[in-house]
Amino acid sequence: MQEGALLELKGLNALRGSREVLKDVNFKLNYGEIVVLVGDNGSGKSTFIESCAGIVPFKNGELYFYEEANSQNLIRDHEGRKSNIPKIGITLQKDGICGEETVEERILIASEKSSKNYDSDKMGQILSDWGLNHRKSDRVSLLSGGLKRRLSVICGLAPAILSPKPMTVLLDEPSVGLDKSARILFINWIRTLASRGHGIIIATHNNDVIKCADRIIKIGKKGKIKESIGKSDGAIVEIPTCSSSSDLISIRHLTSWALKMEIRNPIDTVGRATPALVALLLSYSIIEGNGPLSVDILSSLILLPAFITCIISPAIINRFNEAECGKWWHIMLGSKIRPISSFLGASMILPIPLTYLSWFILIGNKSDEYSYDALLWLWLPILSLITVGMASSALHFLVSDLRRSNSSVGSLLLIALIWPFLELSDALSILMTSGMTYSLSIQSPIIGCIIASISSILIWIVVVYLPDY
């Protein structure tokens, strides 16, 4: 077995909001070691686990991972996230699994296996041992609480089980919800994984799990830690092994996951399209009831349904909030989670059909009264609206990020997106009356769309690349 450390916390002072939970923590997780965290509720066990995963703000201190014996990689310090963590296994206190996923899909993602290197026999053996193989095609929302917890535990252990190289495994209250037979199985499996060189940190209140520890860390009320030697109970048992490495979880995994969730339950599409169509019908009733409107108002009404779809809060935020699913993805993707989530949350497709639908409903057979260029170039303001959607999505993610104090103030920034909308309305009204002009004057539709896009992109950049404190 290799010797040395897998991860290290140096001089850690960790925060939960404005409260300092852990103080002056110096800790190393060594190869082949099981470390159990104990302490009262609220003492900081989950904060310790999440500090090791690099997602808790540090007041002071650093988190390092060691991919090789002498290769020290700084993951986080008091200035924020510095780099992404290497492959780990993690079970969060609230599972971190979306209910729309199937059991097999979640295992596949958690074990970082692509369809090319997925060993169905070994995965089937793991699921069978934990009593889940017959439910592998079921959605997680259909599982009982106990089976959901079993799945969450398997997802935490699977990366280590299927990795030929030792890695870190972080488990937050894994025994909660497990029956006695499952707890015994869990203890024997982590003891077996430790014998293969994997380092395991477990936060728990369960005495049986505490007895399997090599080291016990007690977290006191003031955030100080005290170490003692454990009993190292547990048996070495036969569990699957793997001879080939898997890839790190990537943006591709998150994109595929988000698309699957939306296809199965299109709450994002329906949630955006419904108010947009209502706005379109109201606009139509206004036009029919009041007679001809000015071109400026008419252009705004044409773009209004698409604008509404852009500024509505994306459904992926609710999916991320479900059982702390977003926290799991944040751990895996690190700083990449912000830009890719804002893209996935933006309304990219709906503005196109809605804008053309608005044109044909609101203009109807009066198209010949306006410049032909308006319909020909209608795609241009739509393209700019998509950048507005990206900025809006980023702002909604900022507001939902409860780790950042006073983040709700960020919702007021949505008001700033009205200006790009007005710029696009002006551009469309010019297209409708004067047609396309290719000059660089302020009155050019192209310049108006460029100004709207640049202002939206600047908002997106500021929000997405705020320091990750």
pLDDT of residue 400: 80
Whole-angstrom Cα distance, residue 422 to residue 155? 48
Give the best-scoring range by mean pLDDT among 236-240, 282-286, 368-372: 282-286
Which CATH class name applies to 5-229? alpha beta
Q: Is the pLDDT of residue 402 over 80?
A: no
Higher pLDDT, 148 or 289: 148
- Angstrom CA distances, 257 to 116, 263, 280, 373, 382, stand at 17, 10, 32, 40, 27
Report pLDDT for 116. Answer: 45
- Reported as a single tens digit per residue, the pLDDT across 373-399 is 899 999 999 999 999 999 999 988 888
pLDDT of residue 369: 84
Instruction: Report the relative pairing of strands 215-219 and 19-30 from DSSP bridges.
Output: unpaired
Alpha carbons 436 and 446: distance in angstroms, whole number: 8
pLDDT at 151 over 90: yes
What are the tens digits of pLDDT across the range 2-26? 678 999 999 999 988 778 899 999 9
pTM: 0.90
- pLDDT for 406 beyond 90: no
In sequence order, the 6+-apart residues with CB closer than 8 A to the CB of 179 are 146
pLDDT at residue 408 tops 60? no
Is the pLDDT score of 466 beyond 80?
no
Q: What is the model's pLDDT at position 27?
A: 96
pLDDT of residue 119: 66
State the pLDDT confidence band at 115, using cuts at 50, 70 and 90: very low
What is the per-residue pLDDT for 84?
86
Q: What is the pLDDT of residue 114?
A: 42
Per-residue pLDDT tens over the stretch 341-350: 999 999 999 9
What's the rounded mean pLDDT across residues 325-336?
90
The rounded Cα 292 to chain-centroid distance in angstroms is 47
Evaluate if residue 453 carries a pLDDT over 90. yes
Residue 287, pLDDT > 70, answer yes
Asked if the model's pLDDT at residue 148 lies above 90, the reply is yes
**pLDDT given at position 221:** 81
Domains of the chain, by residue range, sit at 5-229, 251-464
3 state SS for 389-415: HHHHHHHHHHHHCCCCCCHHHHHHHHH
State yes or no: pLDDT of 37 exceeds 90.
Answer: yes
Buried b or exposed e, range 268-284, using 16+ CB within 10 angstroms:
bbeebbeebbebbeebe
Neighbours of 69 (CB within 10 A): 10
Would you say residue 117 has pLDDT above 60?
no
Average pLDDT over residues 185-189: 95
Q: In the structure encoding, which two tokens stand for residue 401, read together?
A: 């990020």
For residues 166-191, give the mean pLDDT. 94
Instruction: State the pLDDT at residue 246.
Output: 61
What is residue 54's predicted lDDT score, i.e. its pLDDT? 92
For 292-309, write each residue's pLDDT tens digit. Answer: 788 999 999 999 999 999
What would the mean pLDDT of 101-123 be, rounded to a whole number? 75
How far is the C-alpha of 62 from the C-alpha of 20, rounded, in Å? 15
